[in-house]
């Protein structure tokens, strides 16, 4: 099932012009410190960091946006055609407290779009995300959308928020007190009702946006609206990584419990420059695949096995016939595989072969024993209605060519 989800992802991403990027599992620790931000939870307490034999500090990647941008800068991809469109599927590592929906080795399916763009890039990435989730069979996911503005508006807001909260600091919990100095925007995410009450009177980020940021966000929203994509504006959504500018979003899935974010993403207009490249607009998302598998709709097309599957059962025989049966079974299997059937060989009793076929979700079972060998034929059992017929080897191709699962 994991594999089928990934296969669908690759198909859809390719259709949107996204190609795969594979970055190393570990990077220099400084990359994440600079990109994700020293003050974030990820860098502050969740990284798997170690010294290698050369005394270098390395970190198992906690996310893949920074590695993608690092690759873009390192290989001077800004000199090639823009934008660069990438997707990735793979493990990430975060030292979090393990619980439902939260793993230390987590898996993400993500996409990043770098260079040449603005609101149009945000729209492209969001439509890609929605296309993929819809293709998986999701119908009523909630997209939460906000803008954090450009770097300057974000900094101005940060100052205003700290000025508002500092006199109230003794009424904040220990986590938020720590965040007040290090990463105050994260306090907006609080789950504590008392803190939410305190925040009710806090300055709001939208008041600090420049006219340009506002226009950017309105264009994203109105375009999504015209596609009938359901989303909710969430003025308090800030995300836990420092690199975001402009549009940020999360997709929430019911059924995930407390860790209900299925996907997170947004734009990062300053990240490539921060890593030593030219000013470059970037936007992307990452879906938590572990969580995705948990809430995959029961009716998802990827759950339905689109393969045409058969079990070919070689029945018990006298020693004298064994070699000839083995040859015949494999020859018929190869012939059917050329006709795009998946054929699983089984040797043993018919009842067991039927069990195997049921478990595989096969369409039918072919029985090949001594008498069939003699007559150059097989008995074919259709599993849906248990009907059985005899087909000669010569007619096998024709028979299965028109045999619908
Ligand atoms: P993130 O919000 O840190 O964003 O992670 C994205 C998704 O990964 C989450 O919504 C969640 O589904 C999943 N996830 C995160 N941590 C865990 C965990 N410990 N166990 C299971 N699942 C988890 C990023 O990683 C950004 N790089 C996304 C992005 C791409 N922004 C722009 N481009």
DSSP characters for 110-174? EEEEESS-SHHHHHHHHHHHHHHHHHTT--S-EEEEEE---HHHHHHHHHHHHHHHGGGGGGS-H
280 CB burial (10 A radius; 0-12, 13-18, 19+): buried
Is the CB of 266 within 6 Å of ligand 1?
yes
pLDDT, residue 402, reads 87
Is the CB of 195 within 6 Å of ligand 1?
no
Query: Tokens 């906000």 sit at which residue?
Result: 146
Q: How confident is the model at residue 44 (pLDDT cuts 50, 70, 90)?
A: confident
Q: Ligand 1, from 107, 257, 259, 286: best to mutate by most atoms within 8 Å of Cβ?
A: 286
Q: How confident is the model at residue 378 (pLDDT cuts 50, 70, 90)?
A: very high
The mean of the pLDDT values for the chain is 93
**What mean pLDDT do residues 15-44 have?**
94
Nearest residue CA, atom 15 of ligand 1?
288
pLDDT, residue 84, reads 98
Predicted TM-score (pTM) of the model is 0.85
Cβ(260)–Cβ(253) under 8 Å?
yes
pLDDT, residue 306, reads 59
**What mean pLDDT do residues 375-391 have?**
94
Q: How confident is the model at residue 226 (pLDDT cuts 50, 70, 90)?
A: very high
Q: How confident is the model at residue 303 (pLDDT cuts 50, 70, 90)?
A: confident
Is the CB of 106 within 6 Å of ligand 1?
yes
| CA 335 to centroid of ligand 1, rounded, Å | 45
Q: Which residue has the higher pLDDT, 184 or 60?
A: 60
**What mean pLDDT do residues 185-201 have?**
88
pLDDT, residue 235, reads 87
pLDDT, residue 138, reads 94
As a whole number of angstroms, the distance between CA 1 and CA 292 comes to: 11
Q: How confident is the model at residue 155 (pLDDT cuts 50, 70, 90)?
A: confident
- Residue 223, both tokens: 């375009």
**What mean pLDDT do residues 372-391 have?**
94
Q: How confident is the model at residue 41 (pLDDT cuts 50, 70, 90)?
A: confident
Q: Ligand 1, from 124, 142, 145, 288: best to mutate by most atoms within 8 Å of Cβ?
A: 288
Is the CB of 40 within 6 Å of ligand 1?
no
Q: What's the pLDDT tens digit per position in 238-265? A: 888 989 999 999 999 988 888 889 999 9
By DSSP bridging, strand 282-288 and strand 105-114 are antiparallel
Which is it for the CA torsion 285, 291, 292, 295, positive or negative?
A: negative
pLDDT at 404 > cutoff 80: no
Residues 394-402: contacts with CB under 8 Å, at least 24 apart: 396/332, 396/335, 396/336, 397/335, 397/339, 400/310, 400/336, 400/339, 400/341, 401/339
Of all residues in the chain, what percent carry a pLDDT higher than 70? 99
| CA 288 to centroid of ligand 1, rounded, Å | 6
| CA 240 to centroid of ligand 1, rounded, Å | 10
**What mean pLDDT do residues 278-300 have?**
95
Cβ(256)–Cβ(262) under 8 Å?
yes
pLDDT at 405 > cutoff 80: no
pLDDT at 401 > cutoff 80: yes
Of all residues in the chain, what percent carry a pLDDT higher than 90? 78
| CA 263 to centroid of ligand 1, rounded, Å | 6
pLDDT, residue 56, reads 97
Q: How confident is the model at residue 305 (pLDDT cuts 50, 70, 90)?
A: low
pLDDT at 183 > cutoff 90: no
pLDDT, residue 152, reads 85
Give residues with Cβ within 8 angstroms of 340, minimum separation 6.
Answer: 308
């Amino acid at each position: 099932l994991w594999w089928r989800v990934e296969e669908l992802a690759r198909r859809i991403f390719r259709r949107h012009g996204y190609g795969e990027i594979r970055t190393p599992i570990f990077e220099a620790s400084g990359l994440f410190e600079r990109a994700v931000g020293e003050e974030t939870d990820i860098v502050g307490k969740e990284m798997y960091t170690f010294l290698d034999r050369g005394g270098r500090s390395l970190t198992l990647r906690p996310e893949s946006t920074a590695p993608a941008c690092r690759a873009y800068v390192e290989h001077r991809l800004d000199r090639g055609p823009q934008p660069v469109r990438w997707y990735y599927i793979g493990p990430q590592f975060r030292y979090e407290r393990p619980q439902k929906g939260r793993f230390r080795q987590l898996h993400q399916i993500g996409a990043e779009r770098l260079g040449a763009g603005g609101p149009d890039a945000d729209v492209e990435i969001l439509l890609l995300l929605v296309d993929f989730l819809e293709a998986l069979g999701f119908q009523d996911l909630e997209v939460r959308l906000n803008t954090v503005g450009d770097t300057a508006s974000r900094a101005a807001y940060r100052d205003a928020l700290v000025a508002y909260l500092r006199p109230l600091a003794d009424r904040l919990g220990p986590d938020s007190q720590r965040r007040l100095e290090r990463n105050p925007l994260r306090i907006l995410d609080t789950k504590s009702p008392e803190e939410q009450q305190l925040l009710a009177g806090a300055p709001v980020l939208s008041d600090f946006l420049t006219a340009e940021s506002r226009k950017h966000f309105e264009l994203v929203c109105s375009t999504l609206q015209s596609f009938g994509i359901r989303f909710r504006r969430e003025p308090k959504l800030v995300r836990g990584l420092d690199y975001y500018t402009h549009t940020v979003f999360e997709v929430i899935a019911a059924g995930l419990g407390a860790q209900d974010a299925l996907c997170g993403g947004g734009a990062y207009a300053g990240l490539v420059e921060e890593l030593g490249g030219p000013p470059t607009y970037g936007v992307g998302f990452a879906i938590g695949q572990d969580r995705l598998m948990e809430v995959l709709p029961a009716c998802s097309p990827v759950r339905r096995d689109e393969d045409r599957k058969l079990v070919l059962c070689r029945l018990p025989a006298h020693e004298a016939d064994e070699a000839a049966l083995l040859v015949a079974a494999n020859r018929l299997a190869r012939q059917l595989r050329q006709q795009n059937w998946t054929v699983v060989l089984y040797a043993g009793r018919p009842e067991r072969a039927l069990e195997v076929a049921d478990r595989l979700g096969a369409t039918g079972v072919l029985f090949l024993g001594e008498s069939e060998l003699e007559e150059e034929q097989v008995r074919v059992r259709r599993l849906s209605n248990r009907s059985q017929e005899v087909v000669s080897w010569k007619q096998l191709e024709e028979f299965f060519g028109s045999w619908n699962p």
